[in-house]
Structure formats: structure tokens, C-alpha cells
Amino acid sequence: MFSLARNELYRLFLSPLAWLILALSTLILAYLFLTHIDNFVQIQAKISAIPGAPGVTELIIVPLFSNTATILLLITPLITMRLIAEERRNDSLPLLLSAPLSIYQIAFGKFFGTLGFFIILLALICLMALSLSIGSAIDYGVITAGLLGLVLLVASFSAIGLYLSSLTKQPAIAAMTTFSGLFLLWIIDWAGTNQMAGESSGLFNWLSLLRHFETLLQGEVNSSDIAYYLIIISLFLTLTIRHLDSERLN
């Protein structure tokens, strides 16, 4: 399973796509990071007098993490689309299927390989945030909660992407369906909150990927949010395993 994950990650970095995605998303986020700093510097004088005013963490790092989540939403489909769809197109899937591996090892291997890539990306962004500690005090608790949120978020994205990639032979179709699926889950709570004041739909709110991320981003670690992500991840990994299994039967 780990050799599979390592191989997946290694092959990802052999393609220019991974490097490009890594470079461009770091560039965009660095730019956003700078604008947040700029904003902060401008308003710093005004808010410094207010006791209990938001600090560097709330005004720079939290928005940065929130931007990161949006960027991840856009790039995850590009990374996950090739996971199984491309293997199928290149006829390399029999290599894994005829090896003494169980389907769950294949699914988990691919999942963790992808997650590894995103953790590298998140580490770069985290370094960006931590660089602020040189000049200011930052709230490590909030950062840890935010990072946990990002990891869980991107793990759910990857699980959804993996499942949709297992359904098709065309990476482009996998990318498109993954993007639509993720976007829908992202905005699904709009339907809930746009109703009359207070009358929000509990189910749609609960389904939203973003909703659970926001609380984590504020430094609030609720077991219900973590459970939500773990449910999403295991649901889609199970669906992937079931689909690959049923393919042998039908």
C-alpha cells in the first residue's frame, strides 16, 4: 500500500502538471498573502488602540487559509482525474489488479499518494504563514486548527475525486464531474441560508464542505466537523472499492 502511494506520488512529480500546479498555486497564494499583509499594515494603526482587536492570525493567516481552500477546490480535480481513469486509458490497471493486492490497498494507495502531494503544497503555504512569527506573535492554536481543516478538506476532495476517476476512462470527464461535485458541495448551503432569516435548512447546511471548514478556520475544533469529513472520506473510498470490485464481476 505504501509502495503504491509512493509510486503514485513519484509519478505525479514526473509529470510537469504537478510542478506547474505547485508553482502556480504557490504564486497566487503568495500574492494574496502579500495583499493581506498590505491591508493589515494599513489598518493596523486604527485597530491597535482597540482592546481585544483581531491580530495578525485573524487578519492574515485565516484569510490566507480560506483562499487556499478555494484554490484547492480548483486544483484537486486536475490532480485526481488521472488516478484511475488514466491507468484505464493506458491499460496499466491490470498490473495492479493481477498483483497480490486487494482492491482496498489499491484505493488507499492512490488516495494517500494524492494526499501526500497536497500535504507538500500545504506545507509550503504553512511556511508562508509561519514566516510572520519572525515579526509578530501568532496564535499557533488557530493555525493548527486551520491546517487540520485544510488537510481534512483536501482529503475529502481527493476521496471524491478518486471515486469519480474510477467511474470513467476519460480523465477530462473525471475532472469535470469532480469539479462540479465539489463545487456543488461547496455551495450547497446557499440554498439553506438564502431562506427567510433563521429558517435555514439543517440538512443542506450540514452537507456543505465549506460550512464545516469555516468553524475549524476560526480555531474551533468540533468533533462533529471532523466526523463529517471522516464520513465523507470513508464513504467515497468505500464507493471506489465497491466500484472497482464490481467491475470485475460485471
Partner 1 sequence: MTTTTLLKADGISRYYGSHRAVDNVSFEIKKGEVLGFLGPNGAGKSTTMKILSGNLSPNTGEITINGFDLLSQPKQAKAHIGYLPEQPPLYKELTVIEFLRFCSQINNINPSKRSQAVDSVIERCGLTDVSNRLIANLSKGYQQRVGIAQAIIHTPAVVILDEPTSGLDPIQIREIRQLIRDIATEHSVILSTHILPEVQMLCDRVQIINQGQLVFTDTIAALSQYMQVSNLFVTLTNPPNISTLQQLEGVLSAEQLSSNRFRLHYHPDHNPTENLLNKAVSLQWKLTELSPEHHSLEDVFMNIIQHESSAKPESM
Give, as ranges, the residues between 32 and 91 that touch partner 1 (CB under 8 A).
90-91
Shortest gap between Cβ of 90 and partner 1 (angstroms)? 7
Mapped onto helix, strand or coil, the DSSP state of residue 58 is helix
Among 39, 92, 136, 195, binds partner 1 (CB under 8 A): 92
Is residue 94 part of the contact set for partner 1 (CB under 8 A)? yes
Mask for 13-32, x = binds partner 1 (CB under 8 A): -xx-----------------
Long-range CB pairs of 107-110 (<8 Å, 24+ gap) are: 107/162, 107/166, 107/237, 107/240, 107/241, 107/244, 108/1, 108/5, 108/237, 109/1, 109/2, 109/3, 109/4, 109/5, 109/7, 109/8, 110/4, 110/5, 110/8, 110/83, 110/84, 110/162
Q: Which is nearer to partner 1, 3 or 70 (CB)?
A: 3
Is residue 249 part of the contact set for partner 1 (CB under 8 A)? yes
Q: Residue 101 class from Cβ within 10 Å (0-12 exposed, 13-18 middle, 19+ buried)?
A: middle
Is residue 3 part of the contact set for partner 1 (CB under 8 A)? yes
Dihedrals phi, psi of 95, to nearest 5 degrees: -60, -45
* Window contacting partner 1 (CB under 8 A); options: 1-9, 59-67, 133-141, 176-184: 1-9
Q: Which is nearer to partner 1, 70 or 90 (CB)?
A: 90
Q: Residue 126 class from Cβ within 10 Å (0-12 exposed, 13-18 middle, 19+ buried)?
A: buried
| Amino acid sitting at position 188 | I
Among 30, 96, 124, 235, binds partner 1 (CB under 8 A): 96
Is residue 7 part of the contact set for partner 1 (CB under 8 A)? yes
Among 101, 120, 176, 226, binds partner 1 (CB under 8 A): 101
Is residue 195 part of the contact set for partner 1 (CB under 8 A)? no
Q: How far apart are CA 134 and CA 45, in angstroms?
A: 20
In 81-170, which ranges are continuous DSSP H helix?
Answer: 82-89, 93-97, 103-130, 140-166
Residue for grid cell 509550503? 124
Is residue 102 part of the contact set for partner 1 (CB under 8 A)? yes
Shortest gap between Cβ of 78 and partner 1 (angstroms)? 17
Q: Could you give the angle at the alpha carbon of 116 between the alpha carbons of 151 and 58, nearest 5°?
A: 30
Q: Which is nearer to partner 1, 10 or 31 (CB)?
A: 10
Shortest gap between Cβ of 7 and partner 1 (angstroms)? 5
Is residue 141 part of the contact set for partner 1 (CB under 8 A)? no
Among 51, 52, 100, 135, binds partner 1 (CB under 8 A): 100
Binding site for partner 1 (CB under 8 A): 3-4, 7, 11, 14-15, 90-102, 248-249
